[in-house]
Chains A and B, each alone.
Chain A
Amino acid sequence: MSILHTVNKSPFERNSLESCLKFVNQGDPVLLFEDGVYAVLKGTSAEKQLEAALAKQSIYVLGPDLAARGFSADRVIAGIKVVDYAGFVDLAAENDKVQAWL
């Protein structure tokens, strides 16, 4: 059984991403959206944590929320996939459950 995990808060504001990455099963996808997109930028103190997580699961980021904050896809850590809302829906459908880390 696979679970899509969603994180909507910046790692510089809350520890929801850290909690999520601690509990997530290997191979289960993580989607960052809303202020969660700050985690996927290159050159921040969260980069190492994200790169370690990328070795165990696929990480996605919601493109419209990146754009809303003025970031283009080339600011994103390599290996993290940018998706739109349709991609978010596909991820929710492909996995058995969706867990929001609110």
Chain B
Amino acid sequence: MKFAIQINEGPYQHQASDSAYFFTKAVLEKGHEVFRVFFYHDGVNNGTRLTTPPQDDRNIVNRWAELAEEYQIESCTQDEDGNEVMQTELVVCVAAAQRRGVVDEGEAKRNGKDATNIHPRFRISGLGQLVEAAIQADRLVVFGD
């Protein structure tokens, strides 16, 4: 069965990001598919590679990236030249990301910023990606505050 996950809360806040992680992990361990994880509202803060928690604490950002790596939470798409490329399906909402300073190269250029902080296993995209996930997946499970 295809699952889509939506996360509305930042890491290290309450529990939503942890719950979503353990749920997603259990989904994959049961052999289901995760179509996309969509980070919305404060949830976009799950996608910054600059996170540096204390060594004895969990690294929520890296943990998502490692899960995506291990279970290939990604999809096949085409680049500008029509070649097939894999893209990550840890997706950060662009409008929520702009408000909170979560930036990739394209956004930095567009908005005249001098740095980027998106984790390479995440990508920034629009709300249409959430709608598509809701349509394509059999279940959409929402975690938040």
A: which residues have CB within 8 A of B?
6, 8, 33-35, 64-65, 84-86, 88-90, 92-93, 97-98, 100, 102
Complex Cα gap A84–B16 (Å): 16
Given A34-B14, A100-B141, A100-B142, decide whether A93 and B19 contact each other with a Cβ distance below 8 A: no
Consensus secondary structure, chain A interface: helix
Q: Do residues B30 and A89 form an inter-chain contact, with CB atoms below 8 A?
A: yes
Consensus secondary structure, chain B interface: mixed
Given A8-B15, A93-B32, decide whether A88 and B142 contact each other with a Cβ distance below 8 A: no
B49: chain A residues at CB < 8 Å are none
B144: chain A residues at CB < 8 Å are 100, 102
Interchain nearest-CB distance for A102 vs B (Å): 5
Complex Cα gap A34–B8 (Å): 15
A-B pairs under 8 A by CB, number: 50
Interchain nearest-CB distance for A89 vs B (Å): 5
Q: Do residues A34 and B15 form an inter-chain contact, with CB atoms below 8 A?
A: yes
Sorting the interface of chain B by its residue count into under 10, 10 to 19, 20 to 34 or 35 or more gives 20 to 34
Q: Do residues B141 and A86 form an inter-chain contact, with CB atoms below 8 A?
A: no
Of residues 94 to 140 in B, which have CB atoms within 8 Å of A's CB atoms? 139-140
**Which one of B3, B22, B143 lies within 8 Å of A64 (CB-CB)?**
B22
Interchain nearest-CB distance for B139 vs A (Å): 5
B81 at the A interface (CB under 8 A): no
Closest to A9 in B: B145
Interface string of B5-23 (1 = CB under 8 A from A): 0001000001110010011
